[in-house]
Amino acid sequence: MTDSALSFAAFERNGWESPETVAAYHALAPQITTQSAQAMLDAADVADGKRVLDIACGAGYLAHAAALRGADATGVDFSSAQVALARQHHPNLTFEQGDAVALPFSPHTFDAVVCGFGMCHVADPQAALNEAFRVLKPGGRLAFSVWAGPQRALAFGVLYAAIAKHGNADVGLPPGPAFFMFSDHAVATSSLQAAGFEKVAVSEAPQFMHGRDPGELYDKILQGSVRASATLKAQTPQAIAEIRKALGELATRFTNNGEYAVPAPAVVSSGMRPRN
């Protein structure tokens, strides 16, 4: 792993060790990200009796959904704060602290591996895919989700356009993988194939950012993230006011009957470890 990757890994790990960030994410993000949970589990062929690993599990959203299908679910996250929260909310499931690029499990352990919106927080995504392949049994499936690109996940498109217009995108954060790299279906496909997966599939799952106050869309992004939050906190007050205004106008465009529903689709990519 390069020095820059190590620096990005430390940046992400430190950010997600913050109890405040973890609590804010748990209060806001699952309302959006769990909308694609069933599509994820279907893509990984999660069913009764299968042993499932949820990588970058956060508070255990996918692990819990897998358990509701009758699966034997385990979650792993590099953040001890996230693991503690997952154990608190799902005491009957197993959660461990561990890194996606060095999973603490033996080869051929799981029938399915899932990762919900975790790849953008990994310093070496290809290594994470390789590790998922390693711990899968022959014939097992991996499925992971990321945000669709900024043309489709509109809040991100408006956010970064507003930063470029009114603020500064280069605020000295450690360089890391492109946030939207796996939003590109071709990149997701080639990366899965490079890890050894076959029967690769990439599709889009609908999701929406819901709320009643258009002004809160900025706060949701600020409070429930690490990379975007650090970028926003480094802006001038004038730039923040313009960015907040742009996001509020976006939410207003999608408001009906007093509630906004801004499209924020997920890209779900999956593949199977060959049977032999």
Q: Is the pLDDT of residue 224 over 90?
A: no
Structural domain range at position 84: 3-149+176-210+263-272
Question: Cα-flanking dihedrals φ and ψ of residue 109, to 5°?
Answer: -95, -35
DSSP three-state, residue 20: helix
Q: Is the pLDDT of residue 6 over 90?
A: no
**160-182: per-residue pLDDT in tens?**
999 999 999 999 999 999 999 99
CB of 75 closer than 8 Å to CB of 66: no
Question: Cα-flanking dihedrals φ and ψ of residue 215, to 5°?
Answer: -70, -15
Q: What is the mean pLDDT of residues 53-57?
A: 97
Is 97 contained in some domain? yes
- What's the pLDDT band for 28 if we cut at 50, 70, 90? confident
Is 78 contained in some domain? yes
Query: How high is the pLDDT of residue 27?
Result: 85
- Cα torsion 47, 53, 54, 59: sign: positive
Q: How far is CA 243 from CA 94, 105, 172, 255, 262, in A?
A: 40, 43, 19, 19, 16
Is 219 contained in some domain? no
DSSP secondary structure, 57-82, as one string: -TTTHHHHHHHHTT-EEEEEES-HHH
Q: Is the pLDDT of residue 63 over 70?
A: yes
**Cα 52 to Cα 105: distance, rounded to the nearest angstrom:** 12
Give me the CATH number covering residue 87: 3.40.50.150
Is 170 contained in some domain? no
Residue type, 109: T
**Cα 250 to Cα 272: distance, rounded to the nearest angstrom:** 39
Residue type, 42: D
Number of domains comprising the chain: 1
Query: How high is the pLDDT of residue 233?
Result: 93
